[in-house]
Structure 1
Amino acid sequence: MTAEDSNNSTPPAQDGTGTVRRVGRTVRKVLVAGAIAYGIVAGYMYLNQRNFVFVPTGELETPGAKGLETVTVETVSMQDGTNVTIWTSEGRENTPIVLYFHGNSSNLSTRHKRFAQVLDSGFGLYAPSYRGYPGSEGTPSEAAFIQDALEHFDRASATGRPVILHGESLGTGVATAVAEQRPDAGLLVLEAPYTALVDIASEQYPWLPVSVLMKDPMPTRERIRNVQSPILIVHGTEDRVIPVAHGERLYELAPEPKTLKIVEGVSHSGLWGNGLWEAVQDAYCTSKAEMRAC
């Protein structure tokens, strides 16, 4: 073997710089792929966010089919020409009207047992179906819901009777927005409320810039500071949809007069069956003792 052969058989030295470059290229590819995937997911969430917030389902049945013989179905044209459905019942003379804003899922007719209890107590009822929900035209949004709700309040208030604003879950943000702008409401009832829709979304999707992406933030925590009506907040300790801390925080922010009712061991949908309506009547009658309903 010659010296030249011996030199040729020696393995080349490892190129450390080349290895670092290869690793760097791999890392960059992974980061770029991750950024693309994140952008796709964020874009999907942004474009479809209202499908997560507003979940209208089912068919709107008639009040009669639900045993509500005194309830009338009306179609009302909103300021922008959108037609929405409302259920109304006068109740007894000299009693308040409950303006009821339901939750984000299903439809108005699934709340029939609640409405029956309201009517059995002699109170009047004004229950709108949100735009975009069964029985109503239009597309759901925070701005549209609030504008419609203000119109509904004015229609109910035109009867000359006191109006109780009752918000259920999603409806708590709508009810509070109305109470902020209509200080003559008789009572604001918040059933399992949130501090803001954007807060709920931030808790559920901490990896997204929700505050930037959210189209309908519904900042109840800001609006409740300006409410002049008496406020009743009811929340369950076992609420896994909107944690009870939201109700407690709103109570801290709310001005007097206010009442907080925390129901031990009760979930998001169990409040009505655990004394909520009785609490509403007590809260109203405390502030309006001259009403015959009390």
Structure 2
Amino acid sequence: MKRWSIFASTTAVIALLAGGCSSLDEHQREWIFQPSDRSWGNTADQTAGMEQVWIDFRSSLTGEPARLHGLWLGNKPESADTPVLLYLHGARYNVNGSAPRIRRMHELGFSVLAIDYRGFGKSTKGLPSEDTAREDARAAWTWLAARHPQQRRYIFGHSLGGAIGIDLAASVKDESGVIVEGTFTSISDVVSSFKWGWLPFEPFITQPFDALAKVKDIGAPLLVVHGALDNLIRPELGRKLYDAATDPKMFVLVKGGSHHSTNTVGGTEYRAAVEQLFSVKAPDPAAPQQQATPGATPPRAAAMRPYDAGRQI
């Protein structure tokens, strides 16, 4: 919360006192992404068993080669029935810092590809922007689709990653479902929810991340998860995002969940929602895994009835 208050006041001062638009843009990108090579906890333990992945492409924005570093945590054995998920993390920490949440999504039945945007971790250096993050997510999605063309593919985004994921889902047509956690409607709405939110920031925002305008264009089932105790991205923003989406969709408010703990505290709710909305069932650790019949068609989540688990708000 403190960091976003600093961002808000800094943006106002720059907008009113400084001259250069490029300087304002750079400050916003720095405060929104807080790019780094930092992660918390014992990284070696967190990422044990995960495969290092490299995704190379040529940026249409710069015309230069770009490289993304990622982590892959697959299911064994993997079949045409195994769903795969693109994991898009939030600000500040690199992909290794998301390892616990990656494992929890894996435990729900997904094979997971998680990436660092340019500017984070071992990916190509540079100050990220909304445009470069959008391009990075699309490159990772293309990579995932090329290697798992027969499997259902899902998009997951936490916080800022949720806005990036919604942007991606609105522009592609081959996703089977989208999950966002602790995600906002727009940067403008986030700033407005803070102490200095009464100031006229919107005309000076260069990185809008307007997920609210794009969520209606998602053509797959959408799961919006939010912690009831999230003081950074308030639950009302998650609910507003859900309300703007088209069916089928589900909103889950996790009691006791904060911006960083919802995925842990809400494990039971997550499991039930993923199974009901997407027909993805978490594997039973005690049951032997069986190879699915090649070419079998998995159930379509879009055929399920819309369900709203978030009537608490």
- Equivalent pair of 2:29/2:127 in contact (CA under 8 Å): no
Counterpart Cα distance in 1 of 2:181 and 2:14: 38
Question: Which residue, out of 125, 129, 135, partners 2:112?
Answer: 125
Give the AA of the match of 1:181.
S
- Equivalent pair of 1:189/1:280 in contact (CA under 8 Å): no
Q: State yes or no: 1:99 paired with 2:86.
A: yes
Query: Normalising by the residue count of structure 2, what TM-score does the alignment of the two structures yield?
Result: 0.73
3-state secondary structure, aligned to 2:191: helix
Give the AA of the match of 2:154.
I
Of structures 1 and 2, the one scoring higher in RCO (CA 8 A, sep 6+) is 2
Cα separation, partners in 2 of 1:64 and 1:246, compared to 1, 3 Å: closer
* C-alpha deviation, 1:186, in angstroms: 1.4
* C-alpha deviation, 1:37, in angstroms: 9.3
* C-alpha deviation, 1:139, in angstroms: 2.5
Provide the residue aligned with 2:284 in structure 1. Answer: none
1:50-129 equivalence runs, <5 A: 50-59=29-38, 65-80=44-59, 81-91=65-75, 92-93=78-79, 94-129=81-116
Question: Which residue, out of 264, 288, 292, partners 1:273?
Answer: 264
Question: Which residue, out of 111, 128, 140, partners 1:140?
Answer: 128
Cα separation, partners in 2 of 1:38 and 1:123, compared to 1, 3 Å: closer
* C-alpha deviation, 1:136, in angstroms: 1.1
Counterpart Cα distance in 1 of 2:139 and 2:16: 39
- Equivalent pair of 1:58/1:106 in contact (CA under 8 Å): yes
Provide the residue aligned with 2:305 in structure 1. Answer: none
Cα separation, partners in 2 of 1:286 and 1:82, compared to 1, 3 Å: same
Cα separation, partners in 2 of 1:59 and 1:277, compared to 1, 3 Å: farther
Question: Which residue, out of 154, 167, 177, partners 1:177?
Answer: 167
Question: Which residue, out of 193, 212, 218, partners 2:183?
Answer: 193
Any idea what the Cα deviations from partners look like across 1:57-85, whole Å, max 9, x if unmatched? 34469x98235444221222233112121
Counterpart Cα distance in 2 of 1:36 and 1:154: 40
Give unpaired runs (5+ residues) of structure 2.
1-11, 60-64, 281-296, 302-313
Query: Normalising by the residue count of structure 1, what TM-score does the alignment of the two structures yield?
Result: 0.78
Any idea what the Cα deviations from partners look like across 1:217-268, whole Å, max 9, x if unmatched? 0100000011111000111221110111101111111100000001123211
Q: Which runs of 4+ in 1 moved over 6 A?
A: 35-38, 41-44
Counterpart Cα distance in 2 of 1:128 and 1:68: 13
3-state secondary structure, aligned to 1:189: strand
- Equivalent pair of 2:227/2:254 in contact (CA under 8 Å): yes
* C-alpha deviation, 1:206, in angstroms: 3.0
Number of residue equivalences: 258
Cα separation, partners in 2 of 1:74 and 1:226, compared to 1, 3 Å: same
Provide the residue aligned with 1:21 in structure 2. Answer: none
